[in-house]
């Protein structure tokens, strides 16, 4: 880089600033006095400078400025990036335990690149160096390879579905598959997280053998009467104990009060009745306290897994399994259900089912499960092989009761197309 022509007119005694290419050089950024003016008849002119400390240097004219340098610290940060200590600083910032050492290293870098203009300027440069190194450390952590040497997955944009399912019509085979999907959802044929672990074939076979042996041993113990009786109440708490004991103690007292009445001992019967009433009040109070503390909202997944296993049994007894990911979770209100991966399913199959279809699938799933568990009124579906299409003289026809779930078939069709 050539020096500006205006610097060739410098004269002895004029004040200038020394700005070398690397600011870690001695006297970088300091004010100096011209002792020897540059010669205009040479190709690379130099100038002799004398600093306030008395030191004298002969420097290229292009490293001299007649104007005071600006207070912008960005060039100093760029200078710090070129030093060998910069990489060590970034590495220390990735470890929370090494942050004090990283702050000390940032102050050292600031002292190396900052001109000797005062400690306040060095403190500001150290802060900017630390912020820049912190940003680079965060970026380096994001690029760190993950499990099995795989890096972070690149963000992908889901393709826009193109099929609106306005005129789709299923044949008998497609309707049978929809019935099969509905049955597998109702029976909760979802692979649990434990089944999706990365196990080898030998480990899976060993786990299956152990599970079969445990089943046989437990069945033999049950037939021999060696199994302990399970307490269905669980451990519970002190309130659960009060809830159980109050009724247990009240029942014999009530029977005894009745016997006293039959025997004509009214005073004794009244005393027993008052004791029964105390137990009943204790039961009501404990039940109210438990109901107040009982969880009213649900969170997380509705099923125990996300991968739906659809099992098709052939006429010769063979079974073919299909899989698709169906993630049903509780919504923010803690009661209703939503399909969390609805957009993924629609993008995967190119099928636009719509929000109403997925909401209908959630309501259908919840209604069927609650009726089967006795938590909701309504007739239970005995034939779970024909939940969507009923068998009508060898033909599968849509059930009329499904009109209360608008566009439910669109959701099932999207799931059918997503099976692999």
Per-residue pLDDT of the chain (420 residues), as tens digits, is: 566 677 788 888 888 888 787 766 788 778 889 898 888 888 888 889 998 888 898 888 888 888 776 556 677 788 888 888 888 888 888 888 888 888 888 888 887 777 654 444 555 678 788 888 888 888 877 766 554 445 555 666 677 777 777 667 888 888 999 999 999 998 888 887 666 655 556 666 666 666 665 665 566 555 555 444 443 444 567 877 888 888 888 888 888 899 888 888 889 999 999 999 998 888 888 888 877 766 667 778 888 888 899 988 888 888 888 999 999 998 887 788 999 999 999 988 888 898 999 999 999 998 888 776 555 555 555 667 889 998 888 888 888 888 999 999 999 999 999 998
- β-partners of residue 33 are 15, 50
pLDDT of residue 121: 52
Tell whether 322 and 396 lie within a shared domain: yes
Tell whether 134 and 93 lie within a shared domain: yes
Element spanning 120, H or E: helix 119-142
Tell whether 287 and 311 lie within a shared domain: no
Q: Is residue 272 part of a domain?
A: yes
Query: Side-chain half-sphere of 184: how many Cα atoms within 13 Å?
Result: 28
Say how many domains are in the chain.
3
- β-partners of residue 337 are 330
- Rounded Cα–Cα distance for residues 405 and 366 (Å): 12
- Which of 293, 313, 330 is a domain's end point? 293
Task: Kindly report the CATH number assigned to the domain that includes residue 46.
Answer: 2.30.30.30
Tell whether 283 and 326 lie within a shared domain: no
Tell whether 325 and 270 lie within a shared domain: no
Tell whether 265 and 363 lie within a shared domain: no
Cβ atoms 10, 66 nearer than 8 A? yes
Tell whether 257 and 316 lie within a shared domain: no
Can you list the alpha helix ranges (DSSP code H) found in 230-338?
238-262, 266-293
Q: Is residue 152 part of a domain?
A: no
Cβ atoms 132, 140 nearer than 8 A? no
- Which of 293, 323, 340 is a domain's end point? 293
- Rounded Cα–Cα distance for residues 388 and 397 (Å): 8
Q: Is residue 159 part of a domain?
A: no
- Rounded Cα–Cα distance for residues 152 and 128 (Å): 29
pLDDT of residue 96: 80
- Rounded Cα–Cα distance for residues 280 and 274 (Å): 10
- Rounded Cα–Cα distance for residues 253 and 264 (Å): 16
Angle subtended at Cα 234 by Cα 232 and Cα 238, rounded to the nearest 5 degrees: 130
Q: Name the residue range of residue 346's domain.
A: 172-193+304-418
Cβ atoms 75, 129 nearer than 8 A? no
Burial label for 313, CB within 10 Å (0-12, 13-18, 19+), is: exposed
Q: Is residue 102 part of a domain?
A: yes
- Rounded Cα–Cα distance for residues 77 and 130 (Å): 9
Q: Is residue 121 part of a domain?
A: yes
Tell whether 265 and 336 lie within a shared domain: no
Tell whether 260 and 310 lie within a shared domain: no
Tell whether 392 and 285 lie within a shared domain: no
Q: In what order do the strands lie in the sheet with 64-65?
A: 56-60, 46-51, 31-36, 15-18, 64-65
- Rounded Cα–Cα distance for residues 108 and 57 (Å): 25
Q: Is residue 165 part of a domain?
A: no
Query: Side-chain half-sphere of 232: how many Cα atoms within 13 Å?
Result: 1
pLDDT of residue 386: 87
Cβ atoms 418, 348 nearer than 8 A? yes
Tell whether 12 and 134 lie within a shared domain: yes
Q: Is residue 160 part of a domain?
A: no
Q: Phi and psi at residue 298, in whole multiples of 5°?
A: -105, 150
Tell whether 320 and 187 lie within a shared domain: yes
- Rounded Cα–Cα distance for residues 101 and 130 (Å): 11
pLDDT of residue 141: 74
Residue 417 has a CB neighbour count (10 Å cut-off) of 16
Q: Is residue 11 part of a domain?
A: yes
């Amino acid at each position: 880089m050539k020096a500006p022509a205006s610097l060739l007119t410098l004269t002895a005694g004029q004040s200038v600033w020394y700005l070398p290419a690397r600011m870690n050089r001695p006297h970088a950024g300091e004010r100096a006095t011209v002792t020897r003016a540059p010669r205009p008849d040479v190709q690379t002119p130099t100038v002799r400078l004398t600093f306030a400390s008395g030191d004298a240097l002969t420097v290229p004219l292009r490293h001299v400025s007649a104007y005071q340098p600006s207070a912008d610290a960005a060039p100093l940060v760029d200078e710090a990036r070129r030093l060998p200590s910069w990489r060590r600083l970034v590495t220390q910032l990735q470890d929370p335990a090494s942050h004090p050492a990283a702050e000390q290293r940032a102050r050292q870098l600031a002292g190396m690149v900052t001109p000797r203009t005062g400690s306040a300027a060095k403190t500001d440069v150290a802060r900017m160096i630390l912020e820049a190194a912190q940003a680079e450390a965060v970026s380096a952590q994001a690029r760190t390879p993950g499990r099995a040497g795989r890096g972070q997955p690149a963000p992908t944009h889901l393709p826009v579905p193109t099929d609106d399912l306005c005129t789709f019509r299923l044949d008998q085979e497609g309707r049978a598959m929809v019935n099969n999907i509905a049955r597998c959802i109702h029976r909760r044929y979802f692979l649990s997280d434990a089944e999706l672990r990365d196990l080898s074939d030998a480990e899976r076979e060993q786990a299956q053998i152990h599970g079969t042996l445990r089943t046989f041993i437990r069945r033999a113990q049950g037939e021999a009467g060696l199994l302990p009786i399970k307490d269905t109440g669980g451990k519970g708490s002190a309130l659960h104990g009060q809830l159980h004991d109050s009724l247990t103690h009240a029942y014999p007292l009530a029977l005894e009060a009745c016997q006293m009445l039959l025997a004509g001992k009214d005073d004794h019967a009244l005393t027993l009745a008052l004791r029964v009433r105390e137990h009943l009040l204790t039961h009501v109070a404990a039940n109210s306290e438990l109901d107040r503390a009982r969880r009213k909202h649900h969170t997380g997944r509705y099923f125990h897994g996300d991968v739906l296993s659809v099992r098709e049994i052939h006429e010769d007894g063979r079974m073919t399994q299909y899989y698709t990911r169906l993630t049903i979770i509780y919504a923010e209100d803690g009661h209703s259900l939503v399909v969390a991966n609805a957009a993924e399913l629609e993008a995967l199959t190119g099928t636009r089912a719509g929000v109403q279809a997925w909401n209908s699938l959630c309501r259908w799933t919840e209604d069927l499960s609650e009726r089967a568990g006795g938590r909701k009124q309504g007739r239970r579906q005995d034939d779970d092989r024909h939940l969507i299409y009923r068998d009508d003289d060898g033909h599968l026809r849509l059930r009329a009761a499904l009109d209360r779930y608008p566009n439910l078939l669109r959701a099932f069709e999207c799931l059918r197309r997503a099976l692999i």
